[in-house]
Amino acid sequence: MVLEFLSQGSMKDCSTFSRLARIFFFSMILILTSSSLSRAQLKPGQYLEESPLGSWNQFGLDSAATLGTGLSQLTLAHNSQILLTNPALLTWLKSCTLTINLGFNQTQLFNYWLVNTGVVSTDSNLTYRNFELNYVGFSCHSGQYTLAAAWVQSENFGRPAIDYQSDDNDYVYNSLKLGQRGHLTTFSLALARKFRTRLSLGLSLVFLTGRINRDLQEDWPLEGTSMIDSRQQKMTGFYAVFGLNYLISSRLAAGLSLIPPYQRKVKSQSLLTYTSAEVNLTTQGEADDRGSQPLIIGAGIKYKLKDNLNLLLESRYFAWDHYSYSYFGENLSRDFKAIVQLGAGLEYQIQASFLGQRWTTPYFVGFKIDPQPMTDISSTYYYLTFGSGFGNESLSLTFSTAIGFEHGSGHNLKNQKIAVTLDLYPEKIFKSRTRR
């Protein structure tokens, strides 16, 4: 693997390394102590520090049913995860539900953005993999009302670790280690109500918390110098999700969703140490930052082609042209555009009797177009999705995958997602045990 560090000059010999080391160190000191410096105008590529893995366009959770149908999250009611996208659909669930979701994500990327200092890039795509429990939630009916709550691991900020060194004739001139990790966690509470038989309205209140940790270490062994740069960002925020579902006819239903723009508060902290034979310096930085999240509007329809076959069509608008972000007190420009995300899917169900019970087997297939908001680099992901599962009146186990191919950046990135969802229906489980 060839790795390049773009800075003020090229690293061709030991003396150049020495000069660059000092330039890098003193520029970092100035950055931490002054917010008035202008940022180098380098193209960030796919990933900034605050960008979630896979896509900028985060909308709800990739459960198995929604993932398999092209992320149909506005009209398809399988479990309580819809409280993050269209809480009105909660009224169409079974009397009580308990949902657990596991997710796997395999994401490629080609650039790391080091704010104010340069870009670390590789000659080939790097892959980051994560497997996690990302959802636990429940819902319960009471008359015309439905209450739901959930814990969600909604966004991942991890990056593949970089461990690079430059050597010649068995001498190591320079080494670079870079790593980033982090998650965004949300706690949601939702209430939905059915009005007559056709209209349902819902509201979710979402509290979020999370952090991003980034560590960079550079060493120049021949000179006996080293630098360690550790940065931590703690995020908090609050937003609402408004949802509507309307039965236009016995075969056609429409869903609408609105997430107003909101602010993520970010507490930023840094610790920089520089060590050499002559000096041992430490400097700390702290700032109150923020990220302005965009308005999101979603609309979708579900059309019943047959009693056991549903067609799902959805679109989502992300107002990224109003996005802004600050980093250690510096307002960073993000030249973003508003985008429209499109998805389509089919859900087919068959039923059969087995071991004295009625079992349902769903089949999912879908397609999704996911354009990214950057204007300096054109990038769009195209996803093929499919899945299946089985279930009875007491439980349901579903699994799906989405295979994404990126076009536009010139790097042919790939992204694969897998979701496994377990839905339990406590009331039905209790009744079946009572009958025995």
For residue range 121-172, list pLDDT tens digits in order.
666 788 889 999 999 999 999 989 999 999 999 899 988 888 878 877 778 8
Task: Write down the pLDDT at residue 136.
Answer: 98
Give me the pLDDT at residue 133, please. 96
| pLDDT of amino acid 116 | 45
Long-range contacts of 297-300 (CB under 8 A, 24+ apart): 297/256, 297/257, 297/258, 297/259, 298/59, 298/73, 298/74, 298/85, 298/86, 298/255, 298/256, 298/257, 298/258, 299/74, 299/254, 299/255, 299/256, 299/257, 300/72, 300/73, 300/74, 300/75, 300/254, 300/255
Q: Write down the pLDDT at residue 418.
A: 97
CATH numeric code, 3-435: 2.40.160.60
Q: What pLDDT, on the 0 to 100 scale, is given for residue 69?
A: 97
Q: pLDDT, tens digit, for every residue of 245-291?
A: 999 999 999 999 999 999 999 999 999 998 888 888 899 999 999 99
CB–CB of 157/212 below 8 Å?
yes
Q: Is the pLDDT of residue 76 over 80?
A: yes
| Position 356 pLDDT exceeds 80 | no
What does pTM read for this prediction? 0.85
Which of 43-47, 83-87, 357-361 is most confident?
A: 83-87
Domain map of the chain by residue range? 3-435
Lowest mean pLDDT among 41-50, 156-165, 200-209: 41-50
- Angle, CA 26 vertex, CA 23 and CA 31 arms, to 5°: 115
